[in-house]
Structures are given as structure tokens and as C-alpha cells.
């Protein structure tokens, strides 16, 4: 009888908590319920304890918290997993006609975005550049700035988001939740005149980019140490920004992944943040060894993020790419469950490469260096690695471009071409660089394909265009034993 009555009270408390009831209201309702029973088996102190336990759970995380605390075995399924029946008509009337973009078209409110890429290729810099565009209200990769964040309420506590030790309702006396720390934020250093994105004295940024001006925030969960992440923030112009809150993994490693995700959700609610970034998911979810390759473990790591996305947050997670590479769906390390569960999947990589392995060719300074066989981690450029990257995307949203070439210049990423026109333009430059000035050393199409690493049709199309413009010359009969060969007397 004792367990049954406790389960009935927790059932009531969970329902009331989801409606926003606080501890006082919960305590009064539970006392009234237990007093109405003919044979109460719980003392008033026990009833008050149940109310206190329910009160520390954020309303939108009641279901996940009950599961993680192991209370689901005591409660009916209707309490743990309340299911609402929708119709196509109700979806049409209750949801907006247009997608609520937080960072168009890469991150949408209520959706999950995964970004994969090889280690140290620039994934974090790309995400931070996206965040900077969101917080500063400027376009990103030729897409307009989001307006959905500008009308969120500003945080009610403190002077901004740079304060340390924001108290969390998850702290306190609930079972399994004792002593959860507040997230450690990067302190806001004072920016002197001319530093960062704004001017003036004081912590963080002033002017139109300030959290006080726009009233929104971003929460970032990083695996990096403070020193390296500080450098990343400076590189993206975010160092000192009051609207970017950060939780470090090394200061949160005592928490389970579900507890850390619940804490992140609570702080997103407290800060008014509608964009949450997890970098990297495998580190935060504690996926070790072969766990990434197991569909069950993959789904387990994604469930807390799906629950957070269901509250209207745009959730972006970063994941390392497998060594074998592949297309956008296959490139991410681990189980295909990662690709199947997200709404948008972005593979962040170096474009196809050009090699100078053929002894007759001069070294080619080309933006096409990168991820081909025998070229991983290498560059044809003697002056440093190319800043050009290729985004390959798969998405449930039609607005997401399947392929996009971008380059980081002036501290920001910018679009330099769609896949087809960039490939043709790059192939033309590479052909001019590869061709010898001597007709006797002219190169066939097959040799050019092998040398520059571009598809045969791309090389043919580029060579024909260059030939028509008189930039390169052709010799040979174009038949077996005497193929067309190309040369150029234009210095490169």
C-alpha cells in the first residue's frame, strides 16, 4: 500500500509539475490527496519529500528526469510517456507555415543538426562563426540573419550571461540530483576600445551585438580546455561576448550524460537560449570503444537531444568523421543511427585534391587539395593549408544546399561557389597549371584526370572550354594510339 500511494502521489506531482506548479502548490495538492484516502500509509514528511523532489525537475524535463531517476517502474505509462494524438489538420493549424530558422538553413528550432568532419579540420571554428552570425544578427553563408531570436525575454538574473554560478533548479534535494553544479561560464573579460566586435569599456560587448540589445543567448558544451577554447572564441570574434554561455566537459565529467543534458536544457530555459551546441557528442555522451558503432548506444546518446529539441531549441552536435570518409550519410563515425535520427546532416571536409606525383608536372597550388587517397592531412600548397572547405548536406528541409564550397577569409567563412561551377572553375585553373609549354610533352585527358584528381567529365568539359577560348592547345588525332593531348604556352 505504501508504494502504491507513493506512486499515485508522484503521478499527480508529475502532472502538476508539467503544468508549472511549484513546490508550495505541489505540497498542498499532495497533502489534500493523501488526506482524502481512507487509510493513508505515508506520513506528512514523506508527502512533503515527494513534493520537494518533483519541484526541482524542470517542467519540460519531467519525463526524462523520471526515467533517469528510475521512478518509471512505479508509475503508469500515461504519466511517464503522455502521448497526444495529432491529426494532419491539427498540425496544419498549430504549427507555423514557415520553418523557424535559428541559423538558416543549418539550424531550425525544434530540429537536430549533426556536423561531422575529421579532427582539427575546423568544425569548431565553423560552428563558432555560425554562432557569431546569429548573435550579431548578420547573414551567414549568403543566408539572411535569423529574426526568431530577437524577441526572446532577456535573462532575469544578473547583468548578462557572463556571470558565474547561475543557480539551477536541478540543484538540491531530489534523488540522484544532489549537488549538481551550475554551469561554469567563461568570464567576460573587459574589452578596451577597438577590441572585439564593439567599442567601449566594460565586460562583454556593447552596442547592437550585446545580449542586452537582442535579448537572446547560445549555450555551448565543449570538450576543449579553457585555454584552447579561448583561442577559438578570439578567432571567431566571440571572446567577451555576454550572450555566449559555455559549459566545459572537464568540469562536468562527474555528471551522467542524461544529467548533463537536463542541466543544459534548464539553463537554455533560464537564459532564453534557443541554440544549443554539443562539441563533441561522443565525448559528452561518454561513448567509448565500440559504443559509437552500436545502434542502441547511438540512440541512447541522441535521446536527450531529441527531448531538448522537442522544447523548441535548435540543437547542433559535432561528431568526428570516420577514417574511410564517404558521403554525408556515411562519413560520421559510428552507427548509421546518427544519420537517421537527425534532421540535417552536414559533412565538413576538404575538397577533392590535386596531386603533383607525376614527375612531368609542376607542384600545383590548388584549392582542391584535401581528402583523396594518400593525401589525408597533406597539402599541395607550400604556403600553408587551404582554407577552402566543402559542405555536403542531407536534410529533411528543402532549403539546405546539398553541396557548397566555402572559404574562411577575414575571420569569417564565405561562399565561393556551388559544387558544379566551383569544380569547373577549379579544374580549369588546375589544367592550366598542369600543362607543359612544350607540345612534345603534351598531356592526355587520362593523364590530367590522374594528376588533378577531378572526374573525367569535369576535366573534359574544362579542357574544351579552355581550348575554345584559345588558352590551351591540342595535338593528336583523337583516336586509339594517338589520343588528343594538351599543352599551354601561357605561364602559370
For residue 74, give every residue at least 6 positions away whose Cβ sits within 8 Å of its Cβ, in sequence order, or none: 3, 6, 7, 10
Specify the range with the lowest mean pLDDT, choosing from 8-17, 277-286, 398-407: 8-17
**Residue-averaged pLDDT of the chain:** 74
Q: Say whether pLDDT at 125 is over 50.
A: yes
Which pLDDT score, from 0 to 100, does residue 381 have?
39
Specify the range with the lowest mean pLDDT, choosing from 110-124, 253-267, 381-395, 472-486: 381-395
Max alpha carbon distance in the chain (Å)? 105
Which pLDDT score, from 0 to 100, does residue 227 have?
96
Which pLDDT score, from 0 to 100, does residue 34 have?
87
Which pLDDT score, from 0 to 100, does residue 296 have?
66
Q: Say whether pLDDT at 199 is over 60.
A: no
The CA angle 383-387-389, to the nearest 5 degrees, is: 140
Q: Which three cell numbers stand for residue 289?
A: 570503444
For residue 168, give every residue at least 6 positions away whose Cβ sits within 8 Å of its Cβ, in sequence order, or none: 180, 182, 183, 263, 266, 267, 270
- Taking the C-alpha atoms of residue 382 and residue 363, their distance in angstroms, rounded to an integer, is 9
Which pLDDT score, from 0 to 100, does residue 176 have?
34
CATH number for region 101-192+204-349 = 3.40.50
Which pLDDT score, from 0 to 100, does residue 171 have?
36
More confident residue, 373 or 124: 124
Give the tens place of pLDDT for each residue, 62-121. 655 555 555 545 445 554 455 678 899 998 998 888 899 999 999 999 999 999 999 989
CATH of the domain spanning 423-487, picked from 3.90.120.10, 2.60.40.10, 1.10.10.10, 1.10.287.3510: 1.10.10.10
Q: Say whether pLDDT at 491 is over 50.
A: yes
Burial class for 87, CB neighbours closer than 10 Å (0-12, 13-18, 19+) = exposed
Matching fold, domains 101-192+204-349 and 423-487: no
Residue 154 — pLDDT band, cuts 50, 70, 90?
Answer: very low
Give the tens place of pLDDT for each residue, 296-351. 677 888 999 999 999 999 999 999 886 555 554 454 445 566 677 899 999 999 88
Phi-psi region of 368 (alpha: psi -120 to 50; beta: other; left: phi over 0): alpha
Percent of the chain beyond pLDDT 70?
66
Which pLDDT score, from 0 to 100, does residue 447 have?
93
| Helix-, strand-, coil-residue percentages of the chain, each rounded to 5 | 40, 15, 45
In the chain, where the domains are located: 2-80, 101-192+204-349, 423-487
- Taking the C-alpha atoms of residue 168 and residue 180, their distance in angstroms, rounded to an integer, is 8
Which pLDDT score, from 0 to 100, does residue 83 have?
66
Which pLDDT score, from 0 to 100, does residue 351 have?
80
Instruction: Residue 266: count other Cβ atoms within 10 Å of its Cβ.
Output: 23
More confident residue, 64 or 144: 144
Which pLDDT score, from 0 to 100, does residue 6 have?
79
Q: What is the pTM of this model?
A: 0.60
Amino acid at each position: 500500500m505504501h508504494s502504491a500511494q507513493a506512486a499515485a502521489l508522484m503521478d499527480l506531482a508529475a502532472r502538476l509539475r508539467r503544468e508549472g506548479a511549484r513546490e508550495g502548490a505541489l505540497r498542498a495538492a499532495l497533502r489534500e490527496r493523501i488526506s482524502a484516502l481512507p487509510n493513508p500509509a505515508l506520513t506528512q514528511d514523506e508527502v512533503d519529500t515527494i513534493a520537494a523532489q518533483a519541484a526541482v525537475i524542470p517542467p519540460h524535463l519531467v519525463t526524462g528526469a523520471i526515467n533517469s531517476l528510475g521512478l518509471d517502474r512505479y508509475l503508469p505509462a500515461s504519466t511517464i510517456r503522455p502521448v497526444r494524438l495529432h491529426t494532419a489538420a491539427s498540425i496544419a493549424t498549430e504549427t507555423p507555415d514557415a520553418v523557424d530558422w535559428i541559423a538558416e538553413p543549418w539550424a531550425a528550432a525544434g530540429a537536430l543538426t549533426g556536423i561531422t568532419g575529421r579532427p582539427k579540420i575546423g568544425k569548431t571554428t565553423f560552428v563558432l562563426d555560425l554562432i557569431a552570425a546569429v548573435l550579431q544578427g548578420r547573414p551567414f553563408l549568403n543566408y539572411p540573419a535569423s529574426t526568431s531570436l530577437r524577441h526572446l525575454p532577456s535573462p532575469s538574473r544578473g547583468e548578462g550571461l557572463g556571470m558565474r554560478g547561475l543557480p539551477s533548479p536541478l540543484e538540491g534535494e531530489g534523488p540522484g540530483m544532489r549537488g549538481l553544479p551550475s554551469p561554469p561560464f567563461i568570464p567576460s573579460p573587459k574589452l578596451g576600445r577597438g577590441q572585439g566586435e564593439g567599442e567601449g569599456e566594460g565586460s562583454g560587448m556593447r552596442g547592437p551585438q550585446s545580449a542586452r540589445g537582442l535579448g537572446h543567448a547560445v549555450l555551448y558544451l565543449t570538450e576543449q580546455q579553457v585555454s584552447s577554447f579561448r583561442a577559438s572564441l578570439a578567432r571567431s570574434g566571440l571572446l567577451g561576448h555576454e550572450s555566449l554561455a559555455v559549459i566545459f566537459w572537464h568540469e562536468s565529467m562527474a555528471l551522467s550524460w542524461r544529467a548533463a543534458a537536463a542541466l543544459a536544457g534548464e539553463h537554455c530555459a533560464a537564459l532564453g537560449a534557443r541554440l544549443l551546441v554539443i562539441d563533441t557528442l561522443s565525448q559528452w555522451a561518454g561513448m567509448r570503444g565500440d559504443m559509437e558503432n552500436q545502434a542502441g548506444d547511438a540512440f541512447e546518446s541522441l535521446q536527450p537531444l531529441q527531448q531538448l529539441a522537442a522544447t523548441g531549441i535548435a540543437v547542433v552536435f559535432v561528431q568526428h568523421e570516420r577514417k574511410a570518409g564517404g558521403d554525408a550519410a556515411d562519413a560520421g563515425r559510428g552507427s548509421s543511427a546518427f544519420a537517421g535520427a537527425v534532421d540535417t546532416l552536414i559533412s565538413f571536409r576538404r575538397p577533392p585534391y590535386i596531386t603533383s606525383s607525376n614527375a612531368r608536372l609542376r607542384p600545383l597550388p590548388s584549392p582542391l587539395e584535401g581528402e583523396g587517397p594518400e593525401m589525408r592531412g597533406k597539402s599541395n600548397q607550400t604556403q600553408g593549408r587551404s582554407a577552402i572547405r566543402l559542405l555536403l548536406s542531407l536534410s529533411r528541409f528543402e532549403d539546405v544546399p546539398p553541396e557548397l564550397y566555402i572559404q574562411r577569409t577575414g575571420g569569417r567563412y564565405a561562399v565561393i561557389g556551388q559544387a558544379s561551377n566551383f569544380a569547373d572553375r577549379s579544374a580549369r585553373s588546375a589544367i592550366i597549371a598542369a600543362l607543359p609549354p612544350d607540345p612534345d610533352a603534351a598531356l592526355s585527358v587520362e593523364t590530367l584526370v590522374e594528376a588533378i584528381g577531378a572526374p573525367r567529365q569535369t576535366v573534359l568539359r574544362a579542357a574544351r572550354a579552355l581550348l575554345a577560348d584559345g588558352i590551351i592547345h591540342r595535338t593528336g588525332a583523337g583516336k586509339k594510339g594517338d589520343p588528343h593531348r594538351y599543352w599551354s604556352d601561357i605561364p602559370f
